[in-house]
């Protein structure tokens, strides 16, 4: 059975709606969902891997008119500042995952 992009987009949209968190990047507020990734699945160097706290799934569609967040950029979630340790996009251009660590990671 072929991959159904429309269905995958709908499922991702529901996930973001069920467990939303506000994420401030620069001066823009986005919606994401906190997740965790098994450490052996992260493509981070050893130093960044030790700083990993959690991941954040977002919609790639939110960044269609702007640059996607870059490694070492700061994001604010629930008044706490985190540093982007790594990013990962899916192959269907649906989700963008930010791997986050402490502000001074």
Q: What is the mean pLDDT of residues 11-16?
A: 79
Cα 101 to chain centroid, rounded: 12
CATH code for the domain in which residue 63 is found: 2.40.10
Structural domain of residue 55, as residue ranges? 5-102
The number of domains in the chain is 1
**Global confidence as pTM:** 0.82
Q: Has residue 25 got a pLDDT over 80? A: yes
What pLDDT sits at residue 40? 63
pLDDT per position as a tens digit, 57-94 = 999 888 888 888 999 999 999 999 999 998 888 877 88
* Beta-carbon contacts of residue 100 (< 8 Å; ≥ 6 apart): 52, 53, 54, 55, 56, 75, 77, 82, 83, 84, 85
């Amino acid at each position: 059975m072929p991959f159904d992009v429309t269905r995958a987009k709908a499922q991702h949209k529901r996930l973001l709606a069920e467990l939303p968190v506000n994420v401030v990047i620069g001066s823009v507020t986005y919606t994401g969902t906190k997740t965790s990734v098994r450490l052996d699945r992260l493509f981070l160097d050893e130093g960044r891997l030790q700083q990993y706290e959690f991941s954040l799934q977002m919609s790639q569609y939110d960044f269609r008119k702007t640059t996607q967040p870059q490694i070492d950029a700061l994001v604010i979630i629930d008044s706490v500042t985190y540093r982007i340790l790594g990013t990962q996009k899916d192959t269907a251009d649906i989700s963008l995952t930010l791997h986050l660590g402490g502000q001074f990671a």
